Amino acid sequence: MNDKIINELASNLNISIKSINNTLKLLSEGNTIPFIARYRKEVTGNLDEVQIREIEEKYNYEINLQKRKDEVKRLIDEKGLLTDELTSLIDKATKLVEIEDIYRPFKEKKKTKATEAIKNGLEPLAKIIMSFNIKGSIEDIAKKYLNNEVKTIDDSITGAEYIIAEWISDNASFRSKIRYLTYHNGLLVSQKKKTSIDELKTYEMYYDFKEEVKYIKMYRVLAINRGENEGVLKVGISLDENIILDYLESKVIKNKNNEELVNIVKIAIKDSYKRLIAPSIEREIRSELQEKAEDVAINNFSDNLEKLLMQPPIKEKVILGFDPAYRTGCKLAVLDKTGKPLKISVIYPHEPKCEYEKSKEIVLKLIDEYKIDVIAIGNGTASRESESFIADVIKSSDRNVEYIIVNEAGASVYSASDLAIKEFPNLHVEERSAISIGRRLSDPLSELVKIDPESIGVGLYQHDVNDKKLKNSLNFTVEKIVNQIGVNLNTASSSILKYISGLTKSTIDKIINYRDTYGLFKNRNELLKKKILNEKTYEQAIGFLRITNGDNILDITSIHPESYDHTLKLLAYLNIPINLIGTNEIQEKLDKVNKEDIIKNISIDKYTLDDIIDALEKPLRDPRDMLPKPVLKKEILHLEDLKVGMKLQGTVRNVVDFGAFVDIGIKNDGLIHISKMSNKFIKHPSEILQVGDIIDVYVDDINLDKQKVSLSLKEVN
C-alpha cells in the first residue's frame, strides 16, 4: 500500500491512518463492505459502509493517478527532456487534467498549423520574435525564411504566429490559470436554436438563459445538457475575453519596446486563446460540471432509494393489490398476511365499459370473503379515478377498510420480467403487477429488490447521468439496506439473496436447490456442512442470513457464528439462560451490566459486545419498525376542496434539488419548493425531508388550470 496516498486520505477524510490501513487490508483480503462494516468494527474503528466505500474509491483513484504520473514521467524521460522541475510539477499534481496539461507539449502532435510551420522551417523565426530583441525590421528577418512553401513575408510571420500560439496553448501554467478565470468569471449560456422544435416547451426557461458557472445549480446543468443533446438548445460558456488576453499578454510579452513584435505576439495570443485554448477549456469545464451534476443526481437518487427501501412493511394485514387501467380493466390481487396471492380478478369501473356498480359489488364481495384490511392502489394510469371508486366502495363496506396510493414505478418492468414469469407462470402481466403493487405495501424491500433500481423512479434526470456510475451507486445502496436488515434464509427469494454479502448466482442457486430438495435449513452451519458455501463465502454472508424456528436460537440473531463462543461466555458470566433471548427479562438484566468488567473477563472488544447485547435484547430487530407507518385513508380529496392555508398530512414521494413532491391525496403530488421548507438557509431539501416521511404541510398556492398545488412546511396565513 502507498503510505503517501494513505496519509493524504487520512487528512482529507478525517479518518485515522490506522483505520484506513486496516480497511484497505480487509478489502484486499476479499472481505465485502457490509461484512467489514458490521463485523470488523474493532479493526476499522467503527467505520460505516459509506466511509469504507469512500476509502476504497478514493484510494483506487489515487493509485490510478499515480500510475499516470509514472507513465508521463517515463514518456518524457524517453525523449531525454525530463527535468527535476517537471518531475516536481507532475508529483504535485492532484488531478488528471493537471498531469495532461504538463504532458501536452511533449505529446506527438497530429498535423496542425504549427507543425506545418515548423516543417517549413519557421521555428527559428518564432524564437526570434519571442526574444523581443532584434536589430532592424522583422520583415527583413522574415525574408530569410522564404522558400518553396513559404512564398511571402506575411506567410512567414503568420507561420511563426501559429507556432507561438501553440507554445502558449501548451503552457500548463497558462491553461491552469485560464481554466480558473473561466470558471470564476464565465457564464453558462443557452439559447433556443432557430430551427429547433420543442412542442411541449420542456426547455422554455432555457431559451434565453445565463448563469454564472461557479454558482449554477447542478440540476440545471443536466437539463441544459439534455436540451442540447435533443437539438433544442445551443449551449456555451460566455466570457469577457479581455480578462484572458490581458493575463496572457502580461505573462508572454516580456518587452514592450518593439511595438512591431508586440503586435505580432498579441495576434498569436488572441489566436491561441480563441482557436486552441478557449474551446478546450470550455469542453473541460462543461465536462467537469456534467460530472459534478451527475454525482449530485446519483447521490440524490441513492438517498431517495434508501429511504424508499426503508419504508416499514404493513404487517399482519390482508391486502388487495389494485392495478388501475381504463380499457383493459383494473386488475385485483388479494394477498394474505404473508403476501401470498389468494385471488386474482378484474373489474371495469371506468371508460369505456363503465361497469361501475358491477365492479363495486365484486370488490365488496372480496372485502367480505377475504376480510381485506387495506387496499393498495397503483399510482399509474386511472389511479385517481380508481381512488374515487375505492373511496365509494369503502363507504358501502361493513368492514373497517382503508386504502393507500402506492408508487408503482417499475412494477410493469418486473411484471414482464423472466423472474415474474417464473414466479407466476399462469398469470398475465397486469395480474402480476397487481400482486407487486400489493406486496409493495406488505413488504416493500422484498418486492422492490426484484426491480432494477433505475426503474424505481425516485430520482431526477437519471437518464442523463453515467449509467455505470448510477448502477454502482444504486446497487451499493440496495446492498447496504438488505444487509442491515438481514433476510430469512428459509424464505428469501433469489432477488434479495443476490444483495447479501459474498453470495453469487451459483451459491444462491445451491441454497434454493437445497431448500427445494431437502426442505428448510435447521441451522446456519448446514451451509458449511453440506458444502453449499465455502469457508470464505460463509464468513462474509452468514451473519446476514437468519433462521427462525431452527435448532440454534442464536441463528435468529445478527450475531456472527464466529462470536457464538463469546455470546455463550457472556450469558454464562451473567447467569442468563439462553432461552431468555428476546424477552423483557434479558433486556432488564443486560441494561444493568458493567461492560468494562465483561470486556476484561471474556476478552471481547466493545463494538462486538455492544452488537451482541443489542442482538440478545432484540433478536428480530428491524430498523424499519422504528419509522412512521404509511398514511392510510378512507376518503378522497379533490383539488377543488383545497384552500390556501389549509393544513394536510402527506407522504414525501420524491426529493430533488429544488424541492420535494408530496402525496396529499389529490391527482398530482404537491411541490414544496426549497424556499418554503425553512426560515433558515438550507443547501438541499434532503436536509429537511426524506422519501417516505409522513409530514404536515400547508397549502401555499392552487392552480386549477394546471391542476397543481404548491405546499409549504411553514404555516401559511
Omega within 30 of 0 (cis) for the link into 352:
yes
| Res 428: pLDDT | 87
Q: In whole angstroms, what is the distance from residue 330 CA to residue 339 CA?
A: 20
C-alpha cell at position 656: 430533488
* Cell output for 183: 470558471
165: Cβ contacts below 8 Å, ≥ 6 apart:
113, 114, 268, 269, 271, 272, 275, 276
Backbone angles phi and psi of 365, in degrees to 5: -65, -45
pLDDT of residue 498: 95
The pLDDT of residue 715:
84
Query: pTM of the full predicted structure?
Result: 0.84
How far is it, in rounded angstroms, from Cα 654 to Cα 671? 10
- CA 14, 19, 25, 30 dihedral sign is negative
Q: Which domains does the chain have, with CATH numbers?
A: 3-77 (1.10.10.650), 319-442 (3.30.420.140), 481-625 (1.10.150.310), 639-712 (2.40.50.140)
Cell representation of residue 684: 438541499
What is d(CA 320, CA 371) in angstroms, rounded to the nearest whole number? Answer: 10
pLDDT at 633: 78
- And the C-alpha cell for 33? 463492505
Residue 334 in 3-state DSSP?
Answer: strand
β-pair type (319-323, 233-238): unpaired
What pLDDT score was predicted for residue 620? 85
Q: What DSSP element (H or E) covers 527?
A: helix 526-529
Per-residue confidence (pLDDT) for residue 1, from 0 to 100: 72
Nearest residue to 453 via CA among 309, 310, 654, 293:
309
Closest CA to 505 of 517, 495, 518: 495
CA distance 319 to 371: 9
Rounded Cα–Cα distance for residues 545 and 623 (Å): 16
Q: Which helix (H) or strand (E) holds 694?
A: strand 694-703
Side-chain half-sphere exposure of 415, counting CA atoms within 13 A: 20
Count, in order, helices (H) and strands (E) of the chain: 31, 15
- 40/49 Cα distance (integer angstroms): 11
pLDDT under 70 in the chain at which residues?
459-460, 636, 717
**What residues form DSSP beta bridges with 663?**
651
pLDDT, one tens digit per residue, over 377-388 is 998 889 888 989
Q: Is the dihedral of CA 682, 686, 692, 693 positive or negative?
A: negative
CA angle 193, 195, 199 (to 5 degrees): 90
Buried/exposed 15-36: b ≥16 CB within 10 Å, e otherwise: beeebbbbbbebbeeebbbbbb
Q: Are 190 and 233 in contact (CB under 8 A)?
A: yes
Tell me the pairing of strands 545-546 and 670-673.
unpaired
| Nearest of 276, 279, 265, 249 to residue 113 by alpha carbon | 276
Place of cell 451459491: 507
φ, ψ (nearest 5 deg) of residue 679: -80, -15
Contact 320, 442 (CB under 8 A): no
Pairing of strands 659-663, 208-212: unpaired
pLDDT at 629: 78
Strand partners of residue 334: 320, 343
Residue with cell 502580461: 250
Cα–Cα distance, 84 to 100 (Å, whole number): 18
Buried b (16+ CB within 10 A) or exposed e, 323-355: bbbbeebbbbbbbeeebebeebbbbbbbeeeee
Question: Angle, to 10 degrees, between the axis of helix 172-185 and the axis of helix 153-169?
Answer: 70
Rounded alpha-carbon distances, angstroms, from residue 451 to 419, 437, 444, 447 = 10, 12, 11, 8
CA distance 694 to 671: 15
Q: CA geometry: angle at 381 spanning 376 and 384, to 5°?
A: 60
DSSP 581: T
Q: Cell digits for 328?
A: 383493459
- Residue 621, number of CB atoms within 10 A of its CB: 16
Q: What would you report as the CA-atom Rg of the chain, rounded to the nearest whole angstrom?
A: 33
CA atoms within 13 A on the CB side of 157: 18
Q: For residues 176 and 251, what is the distance between their CA atoms, to the nearest angstrom?
A: 13
The three cell numbers locating residue 152: 511571402
